[in-house]
Structure 1
């Protein structure tokens, strides 16, 4: 087993190909789901270039871990039916049509990755469309032993992140679905009994 934390992509590729060429089974283990904000695209391009067979097993994303940790359903009947997974604009530019303040127009449940270091900008953009009292949660090290969850209102988001020294491994969740117990689903009511079979 080898940690890739101190390796370049080129070094990772060379190591994987060395063992692949020996006919060995290789597992490239990612944290969370490999398809979100990872380097899987570059790895697949490498495997394709060298004709290497591979299989991708989906992981559990931190936005799902956030819902569980917050004990919140991120969709609420007749109130919120969309979840947006995004990040604030840092070193990597965002496409113009995906700027945070534009996505905020929907007031969906928003899960914001990789943005604790630019929390002032994130708060400012979100407040262009969400009310200041919109529930927020800053979820640090989700599923880790030192997991910490901080709840509050959007107007206090930057303060929450800074006062608790939260870092890049923080997911910011915003929206009325957090802790919402209203608008409960009618799925199990007598009106829908015909959906279930014994």
Structure 2
């Protein structure tokens, strides 16, 4: 009495989940049976997937878990895409730090709804992700400081070139600063 309740349960899990996926996507019983993976399994096991077998499969707890998992996955992906588009529209993902914060918040949200892993607790994982965010923030700060230093050096270089150009103009003309200023005022440059 403890044997399988329908012919689908005699097929390997890979085939069963393939059948569930095809049904979930709207394929008919004939299309499911015509699928090469399903047809090969039927030929190998000898257990046909007739309409009564498939009807029983759609009522099974295994299929209900499969469908609920797919629904949850699709909802999460769609919510993720919507959130990302909104954040991009408002410019909230303009830096590496913003993206890391977003990913950390997403991971925390996922961990709250998931049972603890065998190797790492949810708290440990959140702490590790937070340390990663701090590292990203430090790395980005260091990069921005380096860029700032490069820009300051370039500004100093340009100011020096400008000063040297002004000195050479004075030397070439042989005029004093006051004389140059008067000429510039008369020309309307000042």
Q: Who wins on radius of gyration, i.e. which is larger?
A: 2
TM-score by length of 1: 0.22
More strand, by proportion:
1
The TM-score with structure 2 as length reference comes to 0.22
Which protein has the bigger helix share? 2
Greater RCO, 1 or 2 (C-alpha within 8 Å, sep 6+): 1
